[in-house]
Amino acid sequence: MRKSSGNSTVSQKSRLQNRMEAFKHQQRSLKEELWCLGFLMSGSVSKRMITCGNSSCACRKDPAARHGPYIYWTTKRKGKTVARLIKNEEAQLYMEWVQNRKKLDQIIRKWTRLSERTFKTALQLRLMMKKGPKGSP
């Protein structure tokens, strides 16, 4: 009679734990990125050339004669897109915070994909812990 089942369970467990450690390591680096994130602003910032209300102004006919550039912050409010003209001195801070928000969205996407890759390992480990011998963590 062979008594190999115990050993193979142990090695399978440590293999799963190693894999889980690697996943947790990736998760930690995402947490650090998240931790370093500053304030957030939704939407986007863009420069636009515009036409004015004066019907005899050259901007009506010649795109090169349009006024600007003006800087707009665009976002969604209750499903509608709204644009706000912002001052030159506001633009830098708007752009930084909008960038932070985009970074956050990126971190969430990465974190979600990582979780999907981790799922099988996490499940196997959890099931193993439940039916494992007493004394297992």
Q: Which residues bind Zn ion (CB under 5 A)?
A: 52, 57, 59
Smallest separation, CB 70 to Zn ion (Å): 12
Smallest separation, CB 89 to Zn ion (Å): 24
Nearer to Zn ion, 59 or 104 (CB): 59
Nearer to Zn ion, 17 or 51 (CB): 51
The alpha carbon dihedral of 26, 31, 36, 40 has a sign of: positive
Smallest separation, CB 56 to Zn ion (Å): 9
Long-range contacts, stretch 91-99, CB < 8 angstroms, 24+ apart? 91/45, 94/41, 94/45, 95/45, 96/38, 97/38, 97/39, 97/40, 97/41, 98/41, 98/42, 98/43, 98/44, 98/45, 98/73
Nearer to Zn ion, 67 or 126 (CB): 67
Amino acid at 82: V
Per the listing, tokens 């499940």 go with 123
Amino acid at 9: T
Nearer to Zn ion, 59 or 122 (CB): 59
Smallest separation, CB 48 to Zn ion (Å): 13
